[in-house]
Amino acid sequence: MSAVMVQGCTSWAGKSLLTTALCRWYARQGLKVAPFKAQNMSNNARVVDGGEIGVAQWLQARAAGVEPEVRMNPVLLKPEAGTSQVVRLGRVDAELSRRPWRDRSEALWPTVENALAELLDEYDLVVIEGAGSPAEINLAANDIVNMRVAERAGAPVLLAVDIDRGGAFAHLYGTWALLPPQHRRRVRGFVLNRFRGDASLLPPGPEQLERLTGVPTVGVVPMVRHDLPDEDGAALRAPARGGLPPVAVVRYPAASNLDEFALLEQVADVRWATAPWQLDGAGLVVLPGSKHVSSDLAWLRSTGLFAAVREAAGKPGVRVLGVCGGLQLLGRRLEDPHGVDGAGEGMGLLPLTTTFERRKLVRRRALTLPSFDGPWAGLSGLAVDGYEIRQGRTTADDGSEPLIVSDGAVAGWYLHGMFEDPAVLEALLGSRPARTLDDTFELLADVVDAHIDTGMLRSLAGPS
């Protein structure tokens, strides 16, 4: 059994992308590889056998060519208003969710340790992703995701920095210097990530840094254009694509599962709308999932987007689509008898009422779409595969509980993942994406081959 760990000097240092690249690269060397992140914080999740995990570990497992599962991300924190929901081994832990953050770590560590130990026993190599920075000295006593994991796994650590932000050598040295000696010894290589400058300007920086720390710079990874979704929807930035049909995705504060729209960017000019004017000219307006539907409903009213979406639904040639929480927002009313989310009057664009329940529904779902008329006719009869993560039960006027409903130019569905189906995108927008996830995984592994010391990577994956 062996493990390699990727840590970062900061958040957004590119840990997730580098871990994904290493999962595919090591799998190409013939190893049976599992990803692992002890604790993730994201409202972007995927449903796997046993429950839900962060999207990054789902992607990393796909890159490794193995089935994603809950042990690969044993703790998922889903931010809510002023706190976070704790998902342990795929299921909500209501008791821990009520505890203050600093009181959770020791209760969660046995879950983390057991999941890691089992993966180490079952796989040739576990590629571990850290979180934030290992040098956050104010949080060191509660660490269950960085050096404590590295020590338990016996893992050498690659420390990555986002050089595009500037100050890379200071970040690397400062992070290394703040670590206690036993943790410094685990750091075997520095990686300069997201480099797009003149490589001739780097010396003598790496050499001086190695003299100060004893740690070599083992990779200079360029800025890579890829099609993977960002782990945190707040970072999504879609470039304008000339000639493609405009699609506006409303990005409310608690928007969730925004990662499912990554493939959409290949076939549409995607606009992440936070103001009414950003809906102008869009032929398709999408309301995505929401971790807190009632608060996002209030936000839509306060920004003017509530009225703007309703207005868009009445314009010729404009379609409005809600996904999961977006479907609930398009309905007439939200009911909350158990104090789960909040009650309120919806947009009234679909004849639906949603009642929030204590128990969260988490499941995969495959079905054949029914027949549709008008602007949604292209979806008729498609076989789709998706997943549900919700606490709302939605009923129509006739008492049925539809997964998919349409009324003229307005539609909604409860299945996440349909925007990742090329047939669905073709039915909605007239074209299929040119590149697949697997194409991106291969691209990332090629980048590792070209820009990281692969001899060092092979030695790190040896017996611990």
Pairwise CA distance, residues 141 & 139, whole Å: 6
User: Is residue 320 within 8 Å of residue 409, measured between CB atoms?
Assistant: yes
Write down all domains in the chain, each with its CATH number in brackets: 3-227+440-460 (3.40.50.300), 233-434 (3.40.50.880)
80-94, 234-248, 323-337, range with the lowest pLDDT? 234-248
State pLDDT tens for residues 405-452.
Answer: 999 999 999 999 999 999 999 999 999 999 989 999 999 999 999 999
36-40, 86-90, 221-225, range with the lowest pLDDT? 221-225
Diameter over CA atoms, the chain? 74
| pLDDT of amino acid 235 | 47
3-state secondary structure 127-170: EEECCCCCCCCCCHHHCCCCHHHHHHHCCCEEEEEEHHHCCHHH
pTM of the entire predicted model: 0.91
Alpha helix ranges (H) inside 65-213: 94-97, 105-122, 147-153, 168-178, 181-184, 205-213
Q: Given a cut of 70, is residue 464 above it in pLDDT?
A: no
Structure tokens at 1: 């059994």
Structure tokens at 67: 């089935």
The stretch 334-359 carries a mean pLDDT of 94
> Across-strand partners of 222?
195
User: Is residue 263 within 8 Å of residue 252, measured between CB atoms?
Assistant: no
Phi, psi of 412 (to 5 degrees): -150, 150
User: Is residue 73 within 8 Å of residue 57, measured between CB atoms?
Assistant: yes
Dihedral of CA atoms 193, 198, 204, 205 in degrees, nearest 10, equals: -30
* 256: three-class secondary structure by DSSP: strand
Mean pLDDT of the chain: 93
State pLDDT tens for residues 234-256.
Answer: 444 445 556 789 999 999 999 99
Distance linking the first and last C-alpha atoms of the chain: 7
Q: What percent of the chain has pLDDT over 90?
A: 85
State pLDDT tens for residues 94-135.
Answer: 899 888 878 899 999 999 999 999 999 999 999 999 999 999
| pLDDT of amino acid 234 | 42
Determine which helix (DSSP H) or strand (DSSP E) holds 35, and give its type and residue range: strand 33-36
Determine which helix (DSSP H) or strand (DSSP E) holds 83, and give its type and residue range: strand 83-88
Burial class, 220, CB count within 10 angstroms (exposed 0-12 / middle 13-18 / buried 19+): middle
C-alpha dist (Å) from residue 19 to 6, 38, 261: 6, 14, 22
Give catalytic residue positions. 324, 416
Position of tokens 């789902």?
A: 58
